[in-house]
């Protein structure tokens, strides 16, 4: 079923463990409940998580609830996505993205 994968949630307290120390590449979406494009991205990210299960993790960071991580990565708008590989950000995408664009960006790392 499309969109069935669970998306992880990272917080200021868990970001280092959930993202920076991950053995797998991690796509992080900085999001907010009030952001319409973020809500549009949710089924896209779930479908991507299904397609790449076991090869990549996808987590969300709630911007209002996690100001330190948001500030650390200089997120100015939502949705903003970072792809982390080996604990380092290797790609940044701002705004809603189609699934094919996300696949193109992450495929070299998975």
- pLDDT tens column, 11-61: 999 999 999 999 999 999 999 999 999 999 999 999 999 999 999 999 999
Q: Is residue 2 part of a domain?
A: no
pTM for the whole structure = 0.94
Is 35 tagged catalytic?
yes
How far is residue 27's CA from residue 85's CA, in Å, rounded to a whole number? 9
Instruction: Supply 83's token pair.
Output: 């792809």
Q: Which of 38, 48, 52, 56 is catalytic?
A: 38
Q: Is residue 3 part of a domain?
A: no
Q: What is the pLDDT of residue 4?
A: 56
Is 28 tagged catalytic?
no
Q: Which of 5, 7, 32, 35 is catalytic?
A: 35
**86: region left, alpha or beta (phi > 0 left; psi from -120 to 50 alpha):** left
How far is residue 13's CA from residue 49's CA, in Å, rounded to a whole number? 23
Q: Is residue 82 part of a domain?
A: yes
Structural domain including 73 reads 8-109
Total domain count for the chain? Answer: 1
């Amino acid at each position: 079923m499309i969109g069935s994968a669970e998306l992880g949630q990272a917080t200021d307290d868990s970001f280092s463990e959930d993202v920076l120390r991950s053995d797998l590449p991690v796509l992080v979406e900085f999001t907010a409940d009030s952001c319409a494009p973020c809500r549009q991205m949710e089924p896209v990210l779930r479908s991507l998580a299904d397609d790449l299960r076991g090869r990549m993790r996808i987590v969300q960071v709630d911007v209002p609830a996690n100001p330190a991580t948001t500030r650390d990565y200089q997120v100015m708008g939502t949705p903003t996505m970072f792809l982390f590989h080996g604990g380092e950000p290797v790609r940044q995408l701002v705004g809603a993205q189609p699934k094919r664009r996300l696949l193109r960006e992450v495929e070299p790392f998975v």
